[in-house]
Structure 1
């Protein structure tokens, strides 16, 4: 399994429009953060988790040439707004693109991309197939995927476990039963918005480190990072062993 981190930024991305802080003015490529997304390849299968506003740029940068499915964590625009850009995969593969997520998330997508589901469709629109999922294991082309339900303030959000890889973004609480689902994983990608203060809907860095300490994966990568976190080089130097700041374009294998 090969995982490519497509984007690691918060909803505004980094740099933030109009901001002159040290992070937003940084020349370090690791401080340039598009909206969060990840690409998973396993035995010829190609999945993307979330299609944010930067999905086209990310797919071009990583030269993604095939897409079997999209998994959605939730329906916020920074995770769904780039969905129209799956059209080249429709054309290349001559197939609909299956979408997986909670029923309410897929219904929101049906509303926001209504033209894709119209009775009389305009030529060239994205061809999408909606597949509602619950909390149980489901399979895409024989690849088993386990949803992990976390809370984003009061909004249920799905993280996903695929083998020994776990991806969780936009969370500030993981119920104990869901925490058990991710124990024993080798790689954990977890959101950490900023060092502090406490945030209403996202883990801060200390809170994310507490979760990681409970799970003790072989390696943990932090994502959904705002400019308030600080410079990549300085923050990463302060992290405990086995914990890293993710950056756009990071790739690792299991």
Structure 2
């Protein structure tokens, strides 16, 4: 199974418009971060987690072939704003979207034209499937277990796929969720910045503590803001088994 980081940035991306900090003006490609999303491929199966407003740009350089499922974490624009750009991939047939009830209902308000009884030609052919935490689903040969975390006061989804656990936008988590993390070897989790604390996102210290509790062999941070620092400099001060992910990075799971 291969994971590709399509984007590793926070809601405003990096560089941040109008900012002249050392990260936003860096010429290192590792410091350019589109909105957070990953693609997972196993054999002929292709899954995307979150489809934000940078989705079109993220897919332009990749092989054009069927997307078997889009797993959504939550309704915020930086995670669903690119769903309309699934249009070209509908050439291969209807695309299944998996989301919790809050997200599914939200999409029907934000993209009503996709769900009208009489759709106009060219709209994305998407099918929303409402899923619940801990109720596994199968896409191709992959078993996917949704887990629940809290984004401030909003319950959102993370995903356990084999040895991989993908979580973004988490602030807190119920202790009961950890029973679904046994055997996780690769953890991808959000780490917004070092400080100050944020009301709905983990800091680096929070994310390191969470990684230690999960006990994964390796951890990659995502959904990062410009104030997490330069990629090369920050990676030097993180524990050896914890690194900043970067856009375009590939992992074998």
Task: Report the TM-score when normalising by structure 1.
Answer: 0.97
CA displacement at 1:223 relative to structure 2 = 0.3
Per-residue Cα deviation, 1:198-254 (whole angstroms, up to 9, x for no partner): 110000001100011112211100000000111111100001011110000010112
CA displacement at 1:64 relative to structure 2 = 4.4
Counterparts of 1:22 and 1:63, CA distance in 2? 33
1:68 corresponding residue in structure 2: 68
Give SS of 1:150's match: strand
Give SS of 1:126's match: coil
Cα RMSD, aligned residues only = 0.9
CA displacement at 1:169 relative to structure 2 = 0.1
Per-residue Cα deviation, 1:147-171 (whole angstroms, up to 9, x for no partner): 1100000001100000001100000
Give SS of 2:104's match: helix
135-144 or 147-156: which moved more?
135-144
Counterparts of 1:157 and 1:75, CA distance in 2? 9
Counterpart selection for 1:96 from 94, 99, 116 = 94
1:18 corresponding residue in structure 2: 18
2:108 corresponding residue in structure 1: 110
Per-residue Cα deviation, 1:49-87 (whole angstroms, up to 9, x for no partner): 000000011111333422011000000000000001111
Counterparts of 1:228 and 1:183, CA distance in 2? 32
Counterparts of 1:24 and 1:64, CA distance in 2? 31
Give SS of 1:3's match: strand
Structure 1 contact 62–249 (Cα < 8 Å) conserved: no
1:126 corresponding residue in structure 2: 124
In structure 1, the gaps of 5 or more residues are: none
Per-residue Cα deviation, 1:128-186 (whole angstroms, up to 9, x for no partner): 10100011112223421001100000001100000001100000112111122123201
Counterparts of 1:238 and 1:64, CA distance in 2? 38
Counterparts of 2:56 and 2:99, CA distance in 1? 21
2:250 corresponding residue in structure 1: 251
Counterparts of 1:183 and 1:211, CA distance in 2? 14
CA 157–43 in structure 1, closer or farther in 2 if over 3 Å, else same: same
Structure 2 contact 33–247 (Cα < 8 Å) conserved: yes
Give SS of 2:24's match: coil
Counterparts of 1:217 and 1:113, CA distance in 2? 38
Counterparts of 2:64 and 2:15, CA distance in 1? 25
Structure 2 contact 45–141 (Cα < 8 Å) conserved: no
1:79 corresponding residue in structure 2: 79
1:40 corresponding residue in structure 2: 40
Poorly superposed stretches of 4+, deviation over 6 Å = none
Give SS of 1:5's match: strand
Give SS of 1:38's match: strand
In structure 2, the gaps of 5 or more residues are: none
Give SS of 1:206's match: helix
Counterparts of 2:56 and 2:119, CA distance in 1? 23
Counterparts of 2:182 and 2:23, CA distance in 1? 34
